[in-house]
Amino acid sequence: MANHLPTETVSIALAERSYDILIGCGLLDLPSALSCGSASAEALIVTNTTVAPLYAERLQRVLALHHTRVRTIALPDGEVYKDWATLNLIFDELLREAFDRKTVLYALGGGVIGDMTGFAAACYMRGVSYVQVPTTLLAQVDSSVGGKTAINHPAGKNMIGAFYQPLRVIADLDTLDTLPDREISAGLAEVIKYGPIADDAFLGWIEQHIDALRARDKTALACAVRRSCEIKAWVVGQDERESGLRAILNFGHTFGHAIEAGLGYGEWLHGEAVGCGMVMAADLSVRLGLIDAAYAERLTTLIERAGLPTRGPRLGAARYLELMRVDKKSESGQIRFVLIDAPGRASLHRADDALVAEAIEAHCV
């Protein structure tokens, strides 16, 4: 059944940087899905030690039909390795093997691999092409789409990076079969996010299908990935470099980044931190009188049903605030929060530290 799902295409309109997101089953073995670079170019698959044994050989075999040379590099797995030292392993390989400016990089893995590969592509010889092949739900619905690439700095997440669009995104839903349950839940956090910020009807659909999604029903997953990508494409198409609207995609992320940084990257999954961050952000929206408590409650219930934490670590509100001040959305030391203005609509707000502290304390273990 699942394999007979039609492949769907969502397009991101960014003038000469436009590209397609392909969503479907069996795409990793489909030569046509993977044909988008120059035929004469060389290719480097960048993956990690967890994903490599699962999918690298298959991808390498199909890419050999399109490229004169295909090599694979497997980085250590985890958010803690999203740093310069690990990024440099990609540059070392590219230079040791004399890959030239026509090289295409393939990011095979989750958000960390996608972000690092994209940033490596942005910087290698001042820019080579890359293709996203996301193998986690989180990467398929969010991080592989839209051209945000980065590495972490000890002082802040994603602080060093570039806006750099891929040639294509290939979301093979079959790769989600090998994903741990915890990572499915983490991905669902970013799916849920699109409801309160852009599409209240989608939130209702997720509520109805949350169990099917957690059970990896392919039809439900295809629908969730497609709608998520459509919303992201719509936002990114209007504001590629996050000068305004695009910031709404960071709903829950300001609190979430503080949780990740406060505990040390990798302790919680990014999606878990975002899940809990959305609970805090919804609460802050209520405290500012933007939405009623029932809507925040509804969102919290769904986040819980997705298998995500709804209570943050007890770092103390002061520490949260300190960590949030280095957020990229901050301006002159003032934190800006993505808050819900109404069901399906969000924007940036400032808030008093005292109110923010209340929203944090109300949702810490």
From 14, 30, 54, 125, residue interacting with a second copy (rule: CB under 8 A): 125
Q: Is 57 helix (H, G, I), strand (E, B) or coil?
A: helix
| 245 near a second copy, rule: CB under 8 A | no
In what helix (H) or strand (E) does residue 117 lie, and over which residues does it extend?
helix 111-123
From the list 8-16, 124-132, 197-205, 211-219, the region that binds a second copy by CB under 8 A is: 124-132
Closest-CA residue to 182 (of 110, 282, 231, 82):
110
Work out the burial of residue 45: count CB atoms within 10 Å of its CB; fewer than 13 is exposed, 13-18 middle, 19 or more buried: buried
Beta strands in 177-228 (DSSP E): none
Task: Give yes or no: 67 in active site.
Answer: no
* Residues in region 310-349 near a second copy by CB under 8 A: 325-326, 328, 330-333
Per rule CB under 8 A, is residue 241 in the interface with a second copy? yes
Q: Is 3 a catalytic residue?
A: no
Is residue 227 annotated as a catalytic residue, yes or no? Answer: no
Residue 190 annotated to the active site: yes
- Catalytic residue from among 227, 253, 287, 328: 253
Q: What is the largest CA-CA distance in the chain?
A: 60
Which position among 4, 16, 96, 126 bears the catalytic label?
A: 126
Question: Which residues within the stretch 270-309 sit at the binding site for a second copy (CB under 8 A)?
Answer: none
Distance CA 226, CA 2 (A): 15
Min. distance of Cβ 130 from a second copy in angstroms?
14
Residue among 36 and 160 whose Cβ is closer to a second copy: 160
Residue 269 Cβ, how far from a second copy at the closest point, in Å?
Answer: 22
Note if 257 is an active site residue: yes
- Render 335-363 in DSSP notation, one character per residue: --EEEEEETTEEEEE---HHHHHHHHHTT
Assess 123 for contact with a second copy (CB under 8 A): yes
**Chain residues 177-236 in contact with a second copy, contact rule CB under 8 A:** none
Encoded amino acid at 192, one letter: I
102 catalytically annotated: no
Q: Does 350 bind a second copy (CB under 8 A)?
A: no
64 binds a second copy (CB under 8 A): no
Q: Is 158:143 a contact under the CB 8 Å cutoff?
A: no
**8: its two tokens:** 């769907």
CA-CA-CA-CA dihedral for 179, 66, 107, 84, to nearest 10: 150
Give the interface size with a second copy as a residue count (CB under 8 A). Answer: 40
Q: In the complex, what is the shortest distance from the CB of residue 90 to a second copy, in angstroms, rounded to a whole number?
A: 10
Strand partners, 44: 71, 105
250 is catalytic: yes
- Of the candidates 79, 230, 240, 242, the residue annotated as catalytic is 242
User: Site mask, a second copy, residues 152-181, x = CB under 8 A?
Assistant: -x-xx-xxxxxx------------------
Question: What SS3 state is found at 45?
Answer: strand
Rounded to the nearest 5°, which phi and psi values hold at 168?
-170, 155
Of residues 120 and 229, the one with the C-beta less far from a second copy:
120
Catalytic residue chosen out of the listed positions 148, 227, 328, 363: 148
74-103 binders of a second copy (CB under 8 A): 84, 88, 91-92, 95-96, 98, 100-102
Give the span between the Cα atoms of 256 and 325, in whole angstroms: 13
Specify the residue, 104 or 290, whose C-beta has the smaller distance to a second copy.
Answer: 104
Residue 357 in contact with a second copy, rule: CB under 8 A: no
**Residue 60 vs residues 47, 63, 116, 293, 310: alpha-carbon distances, Å:** 11, 5, 19, 51, 40
Cβ-based burial of 44 (10 A; exposed 0-12, middle 13-18, buried ≥19): buried
Q: Quick one: tokens of 86?
A: 């690990």
> Which residues participate in catalysis according to the annotation?
126, 148, 190, 232, 242, 246, 250, 253, 257, 270
Binding stretches for a second copy (CB under 8 A): 40, 42, 68, 84, 88, 91-92, 95-96, 98, 100-102, 122-127, 148-150, 153, 155-156, 158-163, 241-242, 325-326, 328, 330-333
